[in-house]
Amino acid sequence: MKVTKYVITSSESDILPSDIAMKIYGSKYDVSVKETCFGVMVNGEEEVVNALVKDIRALDPAGIFIKDRGFPPGDPRRCRGHRGGGARPGFYMIESESKMLPMISRALASSGEVFPIPEKKKKPLLPSRLEEIVKEGLS
């Protein structure tokens, strides 16, 4: 069965989408590739795509992320050329997800040391503030 996967790079990764595309073009894998602004789309037989994705993730395990896509590249239901232009449905979701990737990358690459979060000390409620709250609630 054919599948399509996004290979998305973190903005903090040293690996660029073009580097990934060139690695795929020079590989033994029989897949189609479409480079995008945030990574590449890879389309092919499931076993082949999964093996390729595993090889690509090895380049930067904390900075390269994989996401399934329900449609192959150029599918008329998603392709801007067939829909009259504009952003592809789902683009804004990937855009917002990609903004979180640097934080996720840093967490994955960290040594695992967890620093304690200092507790906020609660100040007692002043009687004057309590009176204000009661007056606001009654009015």
Q: Answer whether residue 120 is part of any domain.
A: no
pLDDT tens-digit map of 61-115? 999 999 998 887 877 777 766 667 676 667 778 888 889 999 999 888 887 777 7
Q: How many domains does the chain have?
A: 1
Quote the domain boundaries for residue 11. 2-109
Question: What CATH number does residue 37 fall under?
Answer: 3.30.70
What is residue 110's three-state secondary structure?
coil
- Terminal Cα distance for the chain, rounded: 67
Q: Which amino acid is at 85?
A: G
Q: Answer whether residue 126 is part of any domain.
A: no
Which residues 6+ apart lie within 8 Å of 27 measured at CB?
A: 52, 55
Assess contact for 48 and 30: CB atoms under 8 A: yes
pTM beyond 0.85: the answer is no
Q: Where are the alpha helices (DSSP H) in 15-126?
A: 17-25, 46-57, 80-83, 91-109
Query: Is the pLDDT confidence value at 117 over 70?
Result: yes
